[in-house]
Amino acid sequence: MPWGLMNAAGPTVPRANFNGAGTTAVDAFPFGVSAYGASDMAGNVKEWLANPMGYGYVVTGGSWEDPAYLHTEYGEQSAMLASPALGFRCARTVGESSGNQGGERFRFDERTPVYTPVSEAEFQSFLAYYRYDRRPANPRFGARVEAPAWIRERTWIDGVDGDSVLVYFYAPRNAVPPYQTLLYVGSAATFCCETLPEQLEWTLGPVIQGGRAVLAVVLKGMVERPWPNHE
């Protein structure tokens, strides 16, 4: 991450140009400068890297037309591609240069591990290890929001080792229980840029309007449940 380990509640909006209408000046986001003085390591335009990958070269960093979470990802593009959302960064080697300066080929054809099946006895031991103890949830209702298409309830329940777990439940207005319920898991954006309800309602709003309920758990590290003592 260009700005170090981010606080989950720290948005990228004042740091980088994402979800925009075009490029901005290099110094338009003073809070986006990295610890080494480099601007726009995330957002604005994606960057070419020197590393070959597949049939082209690696690009990374995300651009003005991308969602914020893409700045931690990388992919490949043909070397012949021209795009207003893709550029490169000039760099000068300090001191003696040697080798290819980190320009090794990115390999993605050897990343899938080969697993060996375990015995039935070992499999049962794994199940026993990960099986949850059944205990009362002890729900503590926090807030209830009524929208035209659904009712959202915010609830805390007991977790493991005394932890409190935040849960959201969406009940559709145009259906009667028992509901067909979906379990939603938030994407990486809920750890840095948006709350789980914001993402869920944008993603599954039509599903709830269609009569299904949705349950979502706010995991540790997400925007509403930052890690303890995390700056």
pLDDT in tens, 127-171: 999 888 888 999 999 899 999 999 999 999 998 888 899 999 999
Query: What's the pLDDT score for residue 229?
Result: 62
Query: What's the pLDDT score for residue 69?
Result: 76
Provide the β-strand partners of residue 213: 181
- Is residue 138 within 8 A of residue 157, CB to CB? The reply is yes
| pLDDT band for position 221 (cuts 50, 70, 90) | confident
Name the DSSP class of 53: E
Name the DSSP class of 106: B
> What would the pLDDT profile of 47-80 be if each residue is shown by its tens digit?
999 999 988 999 999 999 998 878 888 899 999 9
Which domains, and CATH codes, for the chain? Answer: 1-112 (3.90.1580.10), 140-218 (no CATH)
What count of Cα atoms within 13 Å lies in the side-chain half-sphere of residue 34?
A: 12
CA distance 131 to 214: 24
Whether the pLDDT of residue 231 is over 60: the answer is no
User: Is the full-model pTM beyond 0.75?
Assistant: no
Provide the β-strand partners of residue 146: 151
Query: Residue 96 corresponds to which amino acid?
Result: E
Q: Which one, of 155, 166, 221, lies nearest residue 193 by Cα?
A: 221
Q: Which one, of 67, 71, 66, 59, lies nearest residue 32 by Cα?
A: 71
Q: Which one, of 94, 6, 87, lies nearest residue 48 by Cα?
A: 87
The count of other CB atoms within 10 Å of the CB of residue 139 is 12
Give me the phi and psi of 176, to 5 degrees please.
-120, 145
- Is residue 215 within 8 A of residue 184, CB to CB? The reply is yes
CA distance 197 to 1: 25
Measure Cα distances from 31 to 41, 138, 150, 178, 210 in Å. 12, 43, 38, 49, 42
- Is residue 4 within 8 A of residue 35, CB to CB? The reply is yes
| pLDDT band for position 8 (cuts 50, 70, 90) | very low
Measure Cα distances from 125 to 118, 122, 148, 182 in Å. 11, 5, 48, 29
Query: What's the pLDDT score for residue 11?
Result: 59
